[in-house]
Amino acid sequence: MLILHIGTHKTGTSALQAFLASQSQRLCGLGIRYVQAGREGRKAHHPLGWGIRGRRGYKPDVWEPLRRELKSDTTPVKLISSEGLWFTDPAAVREQLGDTPVDRVVLYLRRQDKYLQSLYKQTVAGGREMAFDEWREEFHFRGNYLSVVSKWASVFGKDAIVIRPYERSGRTIDVVEDFLGVLGIDIKQVFPKRRMGRNNPSPRRELLELFRAFNHLKTGVDKDKFFHAVILRNDAYARSADLLDYEACRELLDSFADSNRALVRAFYSDSEPLFPELKPFDPPEIWRPGSEPYTKMLVDMLHTVWCAAQAPNDIGSWKRALPNRSKTRDPDDRE
């Protein structure tokens, strides 16, 4: 049995892949092989999608070792995970897998207002400069889950599609626990001492603007590593989905209402609603210039810039935290 986990982005994928990679031997003993080929030393199989799309210097031949491993390994369940596959042509994936059948295509979906805000923040963390409204206009097709799921279903069959909600009862789920449940494993029994952590946080709105300004500078600094060197200094720097107010969220969701209904009718069978109801909410607290939290954030940003300038190849030095860092995590930010 081959299972593809294809995302989506900002639904706990990094935490899941970190767990699968770190526990690969234990999982293998349970009859589940987290395929090693196609990861290129990473926690996830991102090079597979990059190879098909010609990204980051990868070519389609990155799939050849994976095909050999799939044919030679006798573990009952084989698993491939990369949210980058969500953006990859499923017909090309089918071609690269050759005669290996795919039994399940698993994906987690997040309500579009939260998904798009978090996805945009990730693009800024990776070096993008444009404002949210510009990004939405250029990538207007992002968030149209129906069109992507329909393509995967047309290639691998409707029965192979397994859609899981990212939120249940108004709260984000433990994706690792849920995914292992899909595989038939009770994580609390098999991994009772598992530690939960955040692997891919989103920056709060105020910090996001500093990153976006920094991205205009063509410094050659690895933007993703720089981002993590700053945001990990203080838990309060991470906050999800704080760019839109209630009315803007309502308008955005209305634009996806018809396709979401069609998606549920065609592909979703869980008794839990796929997306929680959007309820009115108060705007989040914003740190204003001149306030103590904003000043500390600015100092941390500038200190990381200074570290990167002094030692551009010593990424570890960028993460040296200043003293007296506070730890106030947003309890709803578990990406």
pLDDT at position 193:
80
161 within some domain: yes
**Same domain (yes/no): 99, 159:** yes
Residue 263 has pLDDT above 90, yes or no: yes
Model's pTM, two decimal places? 0.91
Looking at the predicted structure, is the pLDDT value of residue 327 above 70? no
Percent of the chain with pLDDT over 90: 80
Query: Looking at the DSSP assignment, which residues form a beta bridge with residue 81?
Result: 5
Q: pLDDT for 180-209, tens place per residue?
A: 999 999 998 999 888 766 568 899 999 999
| pLDDT band for position 318 (cuts 50, 70, 90) | confident
Q: Which of 202, 226, 200, 201 is nearest to 213 (CA)?
A: 226
Query: Do 44 and 6 belong to one domain?
Result: yes
What pLDDT does residue 325 have?
52
pLDDT band at 320 (very low <50, low <70, confident <90, very high): low
Write out the two tokens for 203.
């920056």
Average confidence score pLDDT of the chain: 92
Residues 162 and 131 in one domain: yes
Looking at the fold, whether 93 and 229 belong to one and the same domain comes out as no
Are 221 and 118 contained in the same domain? no
Lowest mean pLDDT among 81-90, 295-304, 311-320: 311-320
User: Mean of the pLDDT values across residues 218-227?
Assistant: 87
Q: Is there a domain that residue 232 lies in?
A: yes
Assess whether 131 and 212 both reside in one domain: no
Give yes or no: residues 52 and 75 share one domain.
Answer: yes
147 and 50 co-located in one domain: yes
CATH number at residue 80: 3.40.50.300
Write the pLDDT tens digit of every residue in 138-169.
Answer: 999 999 999 999 999 999 999 999 999 999 98
Structural domain total, the chain: 2
Residues spanned by the domain of 79: 2-190
Q: How far is CA 159 from CA 31, 60, 104, 105, in A?
A: 23, 28, 8, 9
Find residue 80's DSSP bridge partners: 4
| Sequential DSSP letters for 257-321 | HHHHHHHHHHH---SS-SSPPP---PPPP-PPTTSHHHHHHHHHHHHHHHHHHH-TT-HHHHT-P
